[in-house]
Amino acid sequence: MSQDSEGFWLFSPILFHWLLSLTFSFRIIMKRRNIGATLAWVSVMLLLPYVGVGVYLLLGEMRLGKRRERRIRQLIDPYKQWIQSLSEGYQVDWTNAPDAAKYLDRLAARSEGTPTLPGNSLELLDDCEGVLRAIIEDINRTEETLYMEFYIWHNGGVADEVLEAVIKARRRGVITRVLLDSVGSKDFLKSANCKRARKAGVEIVEALPAGIFRAIFRRQDLRLHRKIVLIDGHTAYTGSLNLVDARYFKQDAGVGQWVDLMVRVQGPAVEVLATTFLADWDVETEGRQIDLNEDTGVVRQEAKGNAMVQVVPSGPGFYPDAIYQLLLTTIYSAREELIITTPYFVPDDALHTALRTAAARGVEVTIILPAHNDSWLVRYASRSHYDSLLKAGVRIMRFNAGLLHAKTISVDKEFCLVGSVNFDMRSVWLNHEVTLFVYNHAFCDHLCYQQRQYILQSEELQASDWAQRPKQERILENIVRLASPLL
List the catalytic residues: 225, 227, 232, 405, 407, 412
Q: What does the alpha-carbon distance between residue 34 and residue 324 come to, in Å, rounded to a whole number?
A: 12
Q: What does the alpha-carbon distance between residue 433 and residue 342 come to, in Å, rounded to a whole number?
A: 14
Closest CA to 72 of 412, 316, 311, 336: 316
- Reported in sequence order, the residue ranges of 300-446 that DSSP labels E, i.e. its strands, are 307-314, 337-341, 345-346, 364-370, 395-399, 403-404, 407-411, 415-419, 423-424, 433-439
Kind of pairing between the strands at 203-207 and 175-181: parallel
Q: Report whether 75 contacts 44 (CB < 8 A).
A: no
**Residues listed for the chain:** 487
Contacts of 340 (CB under 8 A, 6+ apart): 365, 366, 367, 368, 408, 409, 423
The SS3 of residue 44 is helix
Neighbours of 405 (CB within 10 A): 25
Kind of pairing between the strands at 175-181 and 415-419: unpaired
Kind of pairing between the strands at 203-207 and 337-341: unpaired
Neighbours of 49 (CB within 10 A): 15
Closest CA to 233 of 297, 175, 309, 294: 297
448 φ, ψ to 5°? -60, -40
Sign of CA dihedral 51, 55, 60, 66: positive
371 φ, ψ to 5°? -65, -30
Q: What does the alpha-carbon distance between residue 225 and residue 321 come to, in Å, rounded to a whole number?
A: 16
8-state DSSP, 195? H
Q: Report whether 242 contacts 227 (CB < 8 A).
A: yes
8-state DSSP, 295? S
Amino acid at 106: R
Tell me how far CA of residue 387 lies from CA of 68, 338, 340, 459, 463, in angstroms.
42, 19, 18, 17, 7
